[in-house]
């Protein structure tokens, strides 16, 4: 009986496992059906959109081509009118001159016949008058009439090669692509931003420039955010926990037109943006408080972040516009804020001076980075290194720090006496003109 109960329990367990496996199998199949449905919808929607684009484009071409042909026809007809009028005008003038001569000759004939056939008493007088008039008219002077070979004979020269050229160009005009040559590859969350990466998926396509667009949520229009030759771009001013839609296209080498857009994809960041602390005399902030400008105030001190928003495992980036340097200038991170300090070159902080010197807990390292230049970036990357059985014991907490600037980097271990994975960032400049963007 006990064996029977055990066997029943085993069968029940196997049945439950089979049922769960069937449910899991069904969920996977349903998910694949949804994937197939989305793929089918993408094909149909993109095909419909492509048909609409082609029809609209060729209708526009037809309208433009008809307009151009009509304009050319009118120009040629006007040219015919001008030639006709200019050629007929001298012929009309010659005709008037000949008609006037004919009329004069008729009058002279009537007068001569009257003189010859008139009364004998008046004949001498009439004959004398007629003779003088005939001599005065110069009956041997005739107007010149142009020969037909000298008269314009209009014709139209219409070369049929235009149709051949148009036919060849039209048959080569436009292409239909089943896949865009560039696709979005990766979205990397950043504080208040998203690092977007893309890649070329068509081996035969040689890109010259890329064009990245995005739109917020369900906005109707995309807007350009980057045009250039790089294959990644940091999109800033992104609200956290909000979906943004991205798409990318490319322009082939030596071409003017852009390729088809990639499949739009959603990206978002859950990381709140880095912000400087407002209200410190000596620094002016942008509206989003991610840009700090050292102003003309004589006040000197460290400008800290609003909160310890830098988390180990992320990359903290400073991009700056330079002013007059000073050896006490600093860019870096710290465990806590210390009001009254004029530099991050102190305990519980790591920083880089504007001349490239690296300081750890107030001590200058032998390794040095290049001096900060306008438009260059300084990045901090940190990861936790475990030492001993507990990371909360004094001197047992260590961070592996990598600081990069102008294609050079230094790597070192930063030993702390407390567990700390969220850090403040800060900067200090002695002279005005420095501007720092943090992301």
Do 149 and 297 belong to one domain? Answer: no
**Percent of all residues in the chain with a pLDDT value above 90, rounded to a whole number:** 60
- The reply to whether 192 and 317 lie within a common domain is no
Domain shared by 265 and 239, yes or no? yes
**108-112, 276-280, 295-299, 337-341: least confident range:** 108-112
HSE (CB half, 13 Å, CA atoms) of 331?
31
Question: 259-306, pLDDT tens digit by residue?
Answer: 989 999 999 999 889 999 998 989 999 998 999 999 998 888 999 999
Give the residue with greater pLDDT, 322 vs 160.
322
Is residue 4 in some structural domain?
A: no
Is 390 part of a structural domain of the chain? yes
Averaged pLDDT, 12-25 = 93
pLDDT digits (tens, 9 = 90+) for 225-240: 999 999 999 998 899 9
Is the whole-model pTM more than 0.75?
Answer: no
In the structure, what pLDDT confidence band is assigned to residue 387 with cuts at 50, 70 and 90?
low
**Which neighbouring-strand residues pair with 104?**
none
Q: Is residue 121's pLDDT more than 70?
A: no
Whether residues 34 and 147 fall in one domain: yes
Q: Are 305 and 342 contained in the same domain?
A: yes
Residue 43 lies in a domain: yes
pLDDT, residue 290, reads 93
Q: How far is CA 105 from CA 109, 115, 126, 145, 226, in A?
A: 6, 15, 17, 18, 90
Q: Which residue has the tokens 């901090």?
A: 380
Q: Looking at the domain assignment, is residue 140 inside a domain?
A: yes
Domain presence at residue 5:
no
419 and 324 within one domain: yes
In a domain, 177, yes or no: no
> What pLDDT score was predicted for residue 66?
95
Q: Is 123 a residue whose pLDDT tops 80?
A: no
- Give the residue numbers spanning the domain of 71: 13-172
**Beta-strand relationship, 363-368 and 357-360:** antiparallel
Q: Which of 55-69, 384-398, 416-430 has the lowest mean pLDDT?
A: 384-398
208 token code pair: 């010259």
* Same domain flag for 297 and 427: yes
Last residue of a domain, one of 130, 147, 172: 172
When the pLDDT of each residue in the chain is averaged and rounded to a whole number, the result is 89
**122 plus 197 within the same structural domain:** no
CA torsion sign, 77 to 78 to 80 to 85? positive
Q: In whole angstroms, what is the distance from residue 368 CA to residue 164 CA?
A: 69
Closest by CA to 289, choosing from 303, 299, 301, 310, is 303
* Cβ(399)–Cβ(385) below 8 Å: yes
Q: How many domains does the chain have?
A: 3
Same-domain status, 21 and 168: yes
Q: What is the largest CA-CA distance in the chain?
A: 178
Alpha carbons 352 and 287: distance in angstroms, whole number: 26
Residue 358 contacts residue 352 (beta carbons within 8 Å): yes
Per-residue pLDDT tens over the stretch 47-105: 998 999 999 999 999 999 999 999 999 999 999 999 999 999 989 988 998 888 888 88
Is the same domain home to 153 and 195?
no
Residue 391 has pLDDT above 60, yes or no: no
Which pairs with CB-CB distance under 8 Å and at least 24 residues apart come from 85-92? 87/151, 87/152, 91/146, 91/151
121, 213: one domain: no
Tell whether 356 and 410 lie within a shared domain: yes
Domain finish residue from 243, 269, 295: 269
Mean pLDDT of 200-224: 91
Contacts of 404 by beta carbon, 8 Å cutoff, 6+ apart: 369, 378, 379, 381
Q: What's the pLDDT score for residue 393?
A: 46
CATH of the domain at 213: 2.60.40.10
- The answer to whether position 276 is within a domain reads no
Within a domain: residue 2? Answer: no
CATH number, position 381 = 2.60.120.920
Q: Which of 172, 207, 222 is the last residue of a domain?
A: 172
Q: What is the pLDDT of residue 371?
A: 93
């Amino acid at each position: 009986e006990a064996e029977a109960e055990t066997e029943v329990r085993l069968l029940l367990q196997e049945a439950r496992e089979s049922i769960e496996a069937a449910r899991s199998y069904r969920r996977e199949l349903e998910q694949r059906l949804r994937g197939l449905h989305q793929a089918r919808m993408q094909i149909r929607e993109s095909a419909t959109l492509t048909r609409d684009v082609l029809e609209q484009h060729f209708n526009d071409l037809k309208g433009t081509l008809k307009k151009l042909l009509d304009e050319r026809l009118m120009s040629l007809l006007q040219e015919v009118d001008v030639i006709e009028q200019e050629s007929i005008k001298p012929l009309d003038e010659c005709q008037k001159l000949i008609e006037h001569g004919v009329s004069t000759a008729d009058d002279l004939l009537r007068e001569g016949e009257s003189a010859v056939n008139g009364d004998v008493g008046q004949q001498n007088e009439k004959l004398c008058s007629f003779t003088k008039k005939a001599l005065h008219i110069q009956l041997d002077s005739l107007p010149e009439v142009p020969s037909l070979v000298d008269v314009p004979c209009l014709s139209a020269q219409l070369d049929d090669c235009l149709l051949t050229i148009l036919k060849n160009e039209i048959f080569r005009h436009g292409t239909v692509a089943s896949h865009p040559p560039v696709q979005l590859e990766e979205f990397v969350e950043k504080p208040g931003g998203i690092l977007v990466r893309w890649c070329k998926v068509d081996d035969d396509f040689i890109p010259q420039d890329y064009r990245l667009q995005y739109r917020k949520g369900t906005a109707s229009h995309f807007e350009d955010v980057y045009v250039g030759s790089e294959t990644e771009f940091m999109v800033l001013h992104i609200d956290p926990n909000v979906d943004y839609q991205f798409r990318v296209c490319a322009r082939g080498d030596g071409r003017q037109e852009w390729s088809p857009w990639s499949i739009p994809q959603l990206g978002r960041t859950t990381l709140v943006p880095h912000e400087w602390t407002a209200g410190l005399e000596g620094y002016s902030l942008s509206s989003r408080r991610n840009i700090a400008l050292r102003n003309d105030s004589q006040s000197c001190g460290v400008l800290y972040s609003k909160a310890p928003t830098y988390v180990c495992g992320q990359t903290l980036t400073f991009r700056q516009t330079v002013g007059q340097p000073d050896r006490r200038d600093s860019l870096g991170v710290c465990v806590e804020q210390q009001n009254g300090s004029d530099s991050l070159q102190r305990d519980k902080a790591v920083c880089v001076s504007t001349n490239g010197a690296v300081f750890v807990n107030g001590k200058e390292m032998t390794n040095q980075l290049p001096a900060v230049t306008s438009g260059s970036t300084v990045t901090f990357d940190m990861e936790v290194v475990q030492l001993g059985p507990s990371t909360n014991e004094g001197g047992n907490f260590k961070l592996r720090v990598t600081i990069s600037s102008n294609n050079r980097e230094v790597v070192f271990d930063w030993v702390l006496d407390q567990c700390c994975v969220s850090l403040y960032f800060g900067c200090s400049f002695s002279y005005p003109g420095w501007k720092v963007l943090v992301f």
